Amino acid sequence: MTRVAFIGLGHMGGHMCRNVITAGFDVCAFDLDAGALRRARETGARPAGSAAQCAAGADMLVTSLPGPPQVEQVLTGSGGAIAALAPGALVIEMSTSSLEVGRRAQAAARARGVEMIDAPVAGQTIRAESGTLAIYAGGDSAAFTRALPMLEAIGDPQQIFHLGPHGSGYAVKLLLNLTWFVHAVATAEAMAVGVKAGVDIDKLHTALVNSPANSNFLEHDVRSVLDRGDYDEGFAMKLVTKDLGLAVDLARVVGVPVELAALVEQIHVRARSRYGDQAGEMSAIRLYEELAEIELRWHTSS
């Protein structure tokens, strides 16, 4: 049986780890949070006392961590997991992180005879729970093929994409999030202005959805706000601003000016400072509601 070390058991990783166990892997788990580790034990994982202890003897290491500093610390910091892996092991790094930290970790892995792919995910906690995440992978074809049974335990097989060499997964995931948060701000502005101009919100939404200006965000994702004022706390503003900052950093590294992305990032930084680190990912919409002194909710209950 393939022995798996799973590190990072938060909103996403907790569900992902349980799905890996359900798929029949032998899982040892670690998280700094004792509560998260206890919940993983209850689903069948063997708890470890440190990242290195978790990784020792594993065939595959899976990580789902907040961002670049934690990825660097867990993989290559003092007492890090890569140094504890045996040569021939495979690292599947599934956090939304930076290409730069990924490159450094991959170099450390290569020096130890360990393979590594980046495989960040999309789909919110609901799809982490159902094991149907979208996965954006970067790395060698052979390493990707080896990782596939694990990825299929976590994601929807139709939405597991091998995008190119190491770092491609991180890049695509950052750009996907950037585009989604641009849509969130555009939707908030259009709906706040429309409602203030006296247009019925139900009719405004229907007209926009049936126009060339439609987006997935407008048609589907904004509905949790319109239905019940739910800004989705499953993905915290602390992580949202981390992702948007990484996307703007990436643009800077490759030398492409991204005025819109930088502005949208700052709007989300404002929303985080207004509503807190743990506020839901659609909190930017609340800023517009507050500015316009309205609540964006259906006029009729639908």
Residues at the interface with ligand NAD (CB under 6 A): 7-13, 30-33, 36, 51, 64-67, 70, 73-74, 95-96, 121-122, 124-125, 234-235, 239, 243
CB of 6 to ligand NAD, least distance (A): 10
* Minimal distance, residue 123 CB to ligand NAD, in Å: 7
Of 53 and 190, which CB lies nearer to ligand NAD in the complex structure? Answer: 53
In whole angstroms, how close is the CB of 272 to ligand NAD at the nearest point? 14
SS3 69: helix
Task: Tell me 254's DSSP state.
Answer: H
Return the number of the residue (235 or 288) whose C-beta is nearest ligand NAD: 235
Are 91 and 69 in contact by the 8 Å Cβ rule? The answer is no
Cβ proximity to ligand NAD: between 180 and 298 the closer is 180
145, 119 in Cβ contact below 8 A?
A: no
Q: At what angle do helices 99-111 and 68-76 cross, to 10 degrees?
A: 10
Burial environment of residue 116 by CB neighbours within 10 A (0 to 12, 13 to 18, 19 or more): buried
Residue 30 or 204 having the CB closest to ligand NAD: 30
47 beta partners: 29
Least separation in angstroms between residue 29's CB and ligand NAD is 10
Give me the long-range contacts of 16-21 (CB less than 8 A, separation at least 24): 16/62, 16/64, 16/94, 16/121, 16/128, 16/133, 16/154, 17/43, 17/45, 17/62, 18/43, 18/44, 19/131, 19/153, 19/154, 20/62, 20/150, 20/153, 20/154, 21/45
- Cβ distance to ligand NAD smaller for residue 120 or 194: 120
Q: How far is the CB of 176 from ligand NAD (least distance, A)?
A: 10
Nearer to ligand NAD, 47 or 234 (CB): 234
For the CB of residue 241, give the shortest distance to ligand NAD in the complex, in Å. 11
CB 182 within 8 A of CB 263: no
* Phi/psi of residue 96, nearest 5 degrees: -85, 105
- Please give the Cα distance from 196 to 177 (Å, whole number): 29
Assigned token pair, 154: 């976590």
d(CA 134, CA 97): 16
Of 173, 203, 238, 242, the catalytic one is 173
Catalytic (active site) residue 242: no
Cα four-point dihedral sign 67, 70, 76, 81: negative
Which amino acids are annotated catalytic? 173
